[in-house]
């Protein structure tokens, strides 16, 4: 685990433990502590190396960066995180403290009272009030005032971060904006900030101003918990990964042929029977309603919306095993633990199917505070033509009856438009007239092009897990496409955002999830957040390189792609081989 970033060529960092032992033994109490703090601060100011990070070294790239090399800030041991404003800001401040305390070992109290000394250099201020502190924006950051007006309260996820010699200040119109400012600050500190235990380091932040906001409203990733089941703790960690790259949606693929993963009170056998299988014959598993609520709460605190998917009418073998009455001919199929697709479906000619859909969607909607319900709709090869569109139209109505807005894979396109509906496009050919027509009828799109955004594709032919049916996706392929211009005859305004799906036929552990996510998830995150003017492969891979030591410090597995100029550090072992790999034909 690195204690200093490889790029830090400044003087040796001062060891704060040494500093502490410099306290004279015969002085006690408050006076001694004050003296030690003053000494540490003075020494810190004199010996502070330049910041190891540059202000623009952030992924996703910020919209506007105005460095000020004379304004680097060194976080002192007695720093206070001060919150000016709403209670929602207080929780973001607590999260900032939680992320800085382990590596720094500093107490970092959060307070909403005025600083003890008027010009105390030891202060971070979070403010949820957009108006506060905006007086000097035009002078310090050209264009800043205009951007900030877009971020007026209620208006979004943008933030402004100022680093001056005396402190760091983050201002935003919403708690989400403050949260994203905190994620940026985290990346501006040395990589060792990700350590779970105290590290001797100078916590220097590069000086200047960042004014930033997202390009797209929907920025997400999908985790398939159906092909292989993953425990709640793994899902929480994935949410943390999303949040630090400013992704704001987690799509959970909760049901498929190989397993049903969410408890439904009205149909208990869905999990009791349908939850006990997974690809390769493992034990499977499922989330109780309390498990799911825990996931939703963890996500909400990190400004991530959970999007639950109940895949219909195909991908339903596990449900049919549990309830043969839903199956065509009312005959239970055998449980399925392979990786083929397209063979199963609930019988769309039987009214019982719609009772089932209404009950399931009703219970999932009641558990889900976010606005979306995803109904799948992909690869229902045996439900054709009007049987398919008729089923989907009824399912869309059942979603609307829950008060939620429907999302479905782009196979939904031929079905009638439903108010607000969103299609998730996962095609391989950007010329898709059926989807373009659905957009003309009012649909909006989430872009997940399989050739760029499918994180279950291998990086190279040698990648030990994953598929290759959509091609190989190295980091550059994940990065080099434009969501707004990807589909022919679809206007940029119809694109709600982007999502990177991770299907898990061959992914069996958290380490393997992380190996497929990193470093491609940050590429997708940058497409979702950063303005197209910042798009630049050379710049991106240089910024991305700085994240290798961060992932190592945090114990996160990643693929050390040769496309990225990683700083030297111990080799990361590749994840273990999967129990089985079967390539989709
Ligand atoms: C296609 S993409 C599927 C999934 C598979 C995936 C494997 C989509 C909507 N359906 O059922 O897991 O390919 O890459």
Please report the pLDDT score of residue 128 as a whole number: 47
What mean pLDDT do residues 115-143 have?
45
Lowest mean pLDDT among 30-34, 62-66, 250-254, 409-413: 30-34
341 Cβ below 6 A of ligand 1: yes
Q: What is the separation of C-alpha 152 from the centre of its chain, rounded to a whole number of angstroms?
A: 24
3-state secondary structure of 110: strand
Nearest CA to ligand 1 atom 2: 426
CB 19 within 8 A of CB 39: yes
What is the β-pairing status of strands 80-84 and 123-127? parallel
322, pLDDT greater than 90: yes
Peptide bond into 138 cis (omega under 30): no
Residue scoring higher pLDDT (133 or 367): 367
The rounded mean pLDDT for the chain is 86
What is the β-pairing status of strands 159-164 and 167-172? antiparallel
- pLDDT category of residue 575 using cuts at 50, 70 and 90: low
Pocket test for ligand 1, best of 378, 428, 583 (most atoms within 8 A of CB): 378
Provide the 10 A C-beta neighbour count for residue 26. 6
45, pLDDT greater than 70: no
Could you tell me the CA-to-CA distances from 85 to 50, 89, 142, 172, 175 in Å, in that order?
A: 32, 7, 26, 11, 11
425 Cβ below 6 A of ligand 1: no
- pLDDT category of residue 75 using cuts at 50, 70 and 90: very high
Pocket test for ligand 1, best of 255, 310, 341 (most atoms within 8 A of CB): 341
- pLDDT category of residue 174 using cuts at 50, 70 and 90: confident
120, pLDDT greater than 60: no
Q: Which two tokens stand for residue 193?
A: 């900030």
Residue scoring higher pLDDT (36 or 446): 446
160, pLDDT greater than 60: yes
Please report the pLDDT score of residue 116 as a whole number: 57
pLDDT in tens, 505-515: 999 999 999 99
State the number of CA atoms in the 13 A half-sphere of 367 facing the CB: 25
- pLDDT category of residue 14 using cuts at 50, 70 and 90: very low
Please report the pLDDT score of residue 165 as a whole number: 87
Measured distance CA(143)–CA(147) in Å, rounded: 6
Concatenated DSSP letters of 24-84: -TT--HHHHHHHHHHHHHHHHHHHPPPPSS-TT--SSPPSEEEE-GGG-EE--TT-EEEEE
Measured distance CA(212)–CA(102) in Å, rounded: 27
* Residues recognised as catalytic: 379
For 473, residues 6+ apart whose C-beta sits below 8 A from its C-beta are 451, 452, 454, 455, 457, 458, 459, 520
- Tokens 């402004």 — which residue? 160
The DSSP code for 581 is -
Which residues face 495 on adjacent strands? 445
What mean pLDDT do residues 205-228 have?
97
- pLDDT category of residue 123 using cuts at 50, 70 and 90: low
Measured distance CA(365)–CA(294) in Å, rounded: 15
Please report the pLDDT score of residue 585 as a whole number: 31
pLDDT in tens, 447-493: 999 999 999 999 999 999 999 999 999 999 999 999 999 999 999 99
CB 83 within 8 A of CB 93: yes
What proportions of the chain, in percent to the nearest 5, are helix, strand and coil?
35, 15, 45
Q: Which two tokens stand for residue 399?
A: 């979603």
323 Cβ below 6 A of ligand 1: no
Q: Which two tokens stand for residue 104?
A: 């720094």
Lowest mean pLDDT among 153-167, 195-209, 403-417, 548-562: 153-167
Provide the 10 A C-beta neighbour count for residue 585. 5
129, pLDDT greater than 50: no
How deeply is 448 buried, as exposed, middle or buried, from its count of CB atoms within 10 A (0-12, 13-18, 19+)?
A: buried
Compute the C-alpha angle 503/504/505, nearest 5°: 110
Concatenated DSSP letters of 221-254: EEEETTTS---HHHHHHHHHHHHHTT--EEEEE-
Highest average pLDDT, of 57-61, 91-95, 133-137, comes from 57-61
Measured distance CA(361)–CA(395) in Å, rounded: 9
How deeply is 332 buried, as exposed, middle or buried, from its count of CB atoms within 10 A (0-12, 13-18, 19+)?
A: middle
Please report the pLDDT score of residue 121 as a whole number: 45
Nearest CA to ligand 1 atom 12: 503
Highest average pLDDT, of 83-92, 105-114, 444-453, comes from 444-453
Closest atom, ligand 1, to C-alpha of 503:
12
Q: What is the CA radius of gyration of the chain?
A: 25
456 Cβ below 6 A of ligand 1: yes
What mean pLDDT do residues 568-574 have?
55
Highest average pLDDT, of 125-134, 144-153, 236-245, comes from 236-245
409 Cβ below 6 A of ligand 1: yes
Which residues face 498 on adjacent strands? 219, 447
Nearest CA to ligand 1 atom 13: 503
Please report the pLDDT score of residue 50 as a whole number: 78
Measured distance CA(27)–CA(478) in Å, rounded: 59
For 414-504, strand residue ranges (E) read: 422-425, 444-447, 495-502
Q: Ligand 1 centre from 330 Cα, in Å?
A: 26
126, pLDDT greater than 70: no
468 Cβ below 6 A of ligand 1: no
Q: Ligand 1 centre from 224 Cα, in Å?
A: 10
What is the β-pairing status of strands 110-111 and 123-127? unpaired
Q: Ligand 1 centre from 372 Cα, in Å?
A: 20
Closest atom, ligand 1, to C-alpha of 339:
12
Measured distance CA(441)–CA(461) in Å, rounded: 41
Cα distance between the two ends of the chain: 41
pTM for the predicted model, two decimal places: 0.88
């Amino acid at each position: 685990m690195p204690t200093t970033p490889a790029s830090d060529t400044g003087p040796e960092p001062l060891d704060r433990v040494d500093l502490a032992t410099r306290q004279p033994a015969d002085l006690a109490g408050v006076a001694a502590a004050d003296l030690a703090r003053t000494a540490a601060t003075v020494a810190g100011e004199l010996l502070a190396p330049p910041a190891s990070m540059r202000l623009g070294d952030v992924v996703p790239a910020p919209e506007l960066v105005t460095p000020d090399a004379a304004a680097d800030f060194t976080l002192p041991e007695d720093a206070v995180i001060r919150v000016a404003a709403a209670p929602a800001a207080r929780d973001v401040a607590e999260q900032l403290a939680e992320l800085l305390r382990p590596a720094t070992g500093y107490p970092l109290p959060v307070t909403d009272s005025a600083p003890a000394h008027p010009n105390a250099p030891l202060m971070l201020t979070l403010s949820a009030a957009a108006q506060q502190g905006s007086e000097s924006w035009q002078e310090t950051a050209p264009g800043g005032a205009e951007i900030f007006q877009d971020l007026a309260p209620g208006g979004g996820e943008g933030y402004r971060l100022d680093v001056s010699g005396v402190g760091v200040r983050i201002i935003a119109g919403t708690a989400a904006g403050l949260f994203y400012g905190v994620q940026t600050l985290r990346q501006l500190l040395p990589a060792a900030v990700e350590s779970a235990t105290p590290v001797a380091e100078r916590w220097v932040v590069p000086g200047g101003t960042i004014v930033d906001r997202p390009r797209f409203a929907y920025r997400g990733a999908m985790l398939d918990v159906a092909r292989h089941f993953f425990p709640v703790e793994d899902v929480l960690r994935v949410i943390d990964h999303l949040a630090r790259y400013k992704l704001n949606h987690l799509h959970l693929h909760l049901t498929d042929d190989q397993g049903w993963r969410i408890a439904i009170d009205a149909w208990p056998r869905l999990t009791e029977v349908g939850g006990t299988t997974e690809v390769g014959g493992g034990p499977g598993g499922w989330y109780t309603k309390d498990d799911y609520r825990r996931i939703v709460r963890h996500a909400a605190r990190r400004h991530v919306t959970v999007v639950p998917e109940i895949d219909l009418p195909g991908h339903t073998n596990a449900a049919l095993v549990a309830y043969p009455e839903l199956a065509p001919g009312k005959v239970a199929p055998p449980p399925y633990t392979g990786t083929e697709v397209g063979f199963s479906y609930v019988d769309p000619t039987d009214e019982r199917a719609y009772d089932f859909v209404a009950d399931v969607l009703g219970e999932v909607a009641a558990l889900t505070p976010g606005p979306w319900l995803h109904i799948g709709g992909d690869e229902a090869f045996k439900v054709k033509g009007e049987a398919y569109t008729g089923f989907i139209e009824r399912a869309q109505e059942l979603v609307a009856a829950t008060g939620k807005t429907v999302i479905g894979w782009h196979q939904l396109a031929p079905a009638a438009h439903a108010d607000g509906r969103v299609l998730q496009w996962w095609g391989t050919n950007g010329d898709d007239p059926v989807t373009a027509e659905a957009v003309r009828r009012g649909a909006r799109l989430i872009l997940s092009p399989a050739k760029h955004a499918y994180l279950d594709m291998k990086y190279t032919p040698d990648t030990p897990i994953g598929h290759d049916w959509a091609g190989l996706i190295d980091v550059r392929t994940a990065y080099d496409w434009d969501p707004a211009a990807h589909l022919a005859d679809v206007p940029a305004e119809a694109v709600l955002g982007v999502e990177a799906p991770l299907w898990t036929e061959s992914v069996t552990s958290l380490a393997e999830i992380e190996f497929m996510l990193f470093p491609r998830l940050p590429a997708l995150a940058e497409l979702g957040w950063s303005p197209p003017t910042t798009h630049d492969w050379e710049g991106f891979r240089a910024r991305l390189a700085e994240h290798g030591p961060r992932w190592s410090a945090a114990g996160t597995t990643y693929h050390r792609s040769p496309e990225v100029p990683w700083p030297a550090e111990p080799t990361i072992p590749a994840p273990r081989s999967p129990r089985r790999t079967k390539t989709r034909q």
